[in-house]
Structure 1
Amino acid sequence: MGVHVEVMDLVAEMKAAEQAFVLATVVRTVSVTAAKAGAKAIIRPDGTIVAGWIGGGCARGAVLKAAREALSDGEPRMVSVQPENLLAELGIRPGDSRDGVRFASNMCPSKGTMDIFVEPMLPHPSLVILGASPVALSLAAQARQLGYHVTLAAPASDLVATPDANVVIDGFDPGRLNDSRRFVVVSTQGKGDEAALKQALAINAAYHAFVGSKRKMSALRDKLTAAGLDAAAIDRVKAPAGLDLGAITPEEIAMSILAEITIERRRGQRAANSVARS
């Protein structure tokens, strides 16, 4: 019981720290197995088991493979490790999947069966907003409602209201960011555009956007390339940010940006989920 409590305490700490990991739980055992139902382990993306235990080498390889896949697509998995004779009776080969269960062979002398639920724990997607404009503040508030971890970076003197963000930074350097997918939006409205864009381009992200006209972005591009920044990276910045919804108010513009980010965030996921469920 104490081990389970320690594992779950670490789960809470790692989730709060926005770290990616897998929680593997033994849900059923048959015959002799090293671990019993209820055993848990925390697995990092590099395959390291940092807490808990779910048995030895009999299940480790299959669980680690499932953990890597779960962290990649965000979907939980059930792994059933069984002796080869039982798999043969079911007409299943190691590596096959049936009814949502991935089967693996137990080559250990114990010849027991162990079912393990592999659950990915992924950090919230990260939205980094550079600037303190009305669009920036509205974007932060709306993104929080959609489950984003929001970092807003802007000079404190530019803020006219307290942002609804997980992290607020004084200046344009957002500091250390979590390891989730990142989306970056510059919404400075003329206050530090060039400095904010320089910082935005230094962030590895799936999406970069600038709240401003194409003409303004073109002028900034000239300044940034003259300063030695990569022209190809600058050209990947979406300007103006957001879908063309005819938005006028800061709230509407923020909504259009989140709609565009959602398209990028969910790209390929609906098709993958449909295949997985068919």
Structure 2
Amino acid sequence: MGVHVEIMDLVAQLKAAEQSFVLATVVRTVSVTAAKAGAKAIIRPDGTIVAGWIGGGCARGAVLKAAREALIDGEPRMVSVQPENLLAELGVKAGESKDGVRFASNMCPSKGTMDIFVEPVLPHPSLIILGASPVALSLAAQARQLGYHVTLAAPASDLIVPPDADVILDGFEAKNLHQARRFVVVSTQGKGDEIALKMAVAIDAAYHAFVGSKRKMAALRDKLIADGLEAAVIDRVKAPAGLDLGAITPEEIAMSILAEITIERRRGQRSTGSIAGR
């Protein structure tokens, strides 16, 4: 019981620190196995088991492989380590999946069976907003409700009221950003468009967007290219930002942007309902 409590305490600490890891839990064992049902381990992205125990080499390789894949796509996995004869009875080979279970061969003398649930725990996705427009402020508030870590960067003089954000930066230089999958939106409404866009495209992110018309973005593109930016870098910016929902109000525009970000965020993922979907 004590070991289990210590592991869950570490899980809470890592989540609070917004660090990526995998929680592997043995959910079923048959015959002789090194670890028993309920055993847990915490696995770092580099494959290091920092706490807990899920068995020796018979299961470790398959679990670490599943952990690496889970951290990439955010999906949990079930790994079943079984002796070759039982895999043959099921009609599967080591490395194959069936009904959502990844099978691996147990080559150890024990010949036991162990099922391990591999669950990735990822940091909250990061939304970086450059600008203090009504759309920017609404976007920050709505994103926080959806579990994003929000950084809002804008000159302090432009902020009439404190925005609903995790981090507020004075100016458009976004430094020490949250280490997670990032989405960047420029919503300056004519106040510092060029400098904000320069800063935005310098951020490594899965999504860059500009709240403004195609015509305005085209004009800014010409200016930025004249200033020395590469066209390919600028062309990564989606303009206008958001899905075409017929949005009019700042709140509706913000909602359309979050809808577009959600499509990108969930691309390639199943709806699992687990904490990996953060």
Same fold (TM over 0.5): yes
SS in 2 for 1:269: coil
Structure 2 residues without counterparts, runs of 5 or longer: 274-278
Name the CA distance, whole Å, in 2 between partners of 1:153 and 1:27.
45
Equivalent residue for 2:114? 114
Is the CA contact 1:19–1:178 (under 8 Å) kept in the aligned structure 2? no
Q: Given residue 61 of structure 1, which amino acid in structure 2 is its aligned partner?
A: G
Question: After TM superposition, what 4+ stretches of structure 1 lie above 6 angstroms from structure 2?
Answer: none
Equivalent residue for 1:248? 248
CA RMSD of aligned residues (A): 2.2
Deviations 1:168-197 (A, max 9, x none): 222223323344322110111222222211
- Give the fraction of aligned pairs with identical amino acids, expressed as a percent: 86
Q: TM-score under structure 2 normalisation?
A: 0.90
Equivalent residue for 2:219? 219
Q: Does 1:32 align with 2:32?
A: yes
Q: Does 1:21 align with 2:21?
A: yes
SS in 2 for 1:23: strand
Equivalent residue for 1:101? 101
Name the CA distance, whole Å, in 2 between partners of 1:184 and 1:47.
30
Q: Given residue 163 of structure 1, which amino acid in structure 2 is its aligned partner?
A: P
Name the CA distance, whole Å, in 1 between partners of 2:75 and 2:210.
32
Name the CA distance, whole Å, in 1 between partners of 2:146 and 2:48.
31
The structural deviation recorded for 1:121 is: 0.9
Q: Structure 1's 74 and 133: CA in aligned 2 closer, same or farther, altered over 3 A? A: same
- More contact order relative to length (CA 8 Å, sep ≥ 6): 2
Q: Does 1:258 align with 2:268?
A: no
Q: Given residue 117 of structure 1, which amino acid in structure 2 is its aligned partner?
A: F
Q: Structure 1's 13 and 173: CA in aligned 2 closer, same or farther, altered over 3 A? A: farther
SS in 2 for 1:67: helix
Q: Structure 1's 97 and 213: CA in aligned 2 closer, same or farther, altered over 3 A? A: closer
Q: Does 1:125 align with 2:125?
A: yes
Deviations 1:220-251 (A, max 9, x none): 22332222212111122112222233322211
Count of aligned pairs between the two proteins = 273
Is the CA contact 2:126–2:150 (under 8 Å) kept in the aligned structure 1? yes
Is the CA contact 1:58–1:106 (under 8 Å) kept in the aligned structure 2? yes
Name the CA distance, whole Å, in 2 between partners of 1:96 and 1:240.
44
Q: Does 1:208 align with 2:208?
A: yes
Is the CA contact 1:184–1:207 (under 8 Å) kept in the aligned structure 2? yes
Name the CA distance, whole Å, in 2 between partners of 1:262 and 1:7.
32
Q: Given residue 132 of structure 1, which amino acid in structure 2 is its aligned partner?
A: A
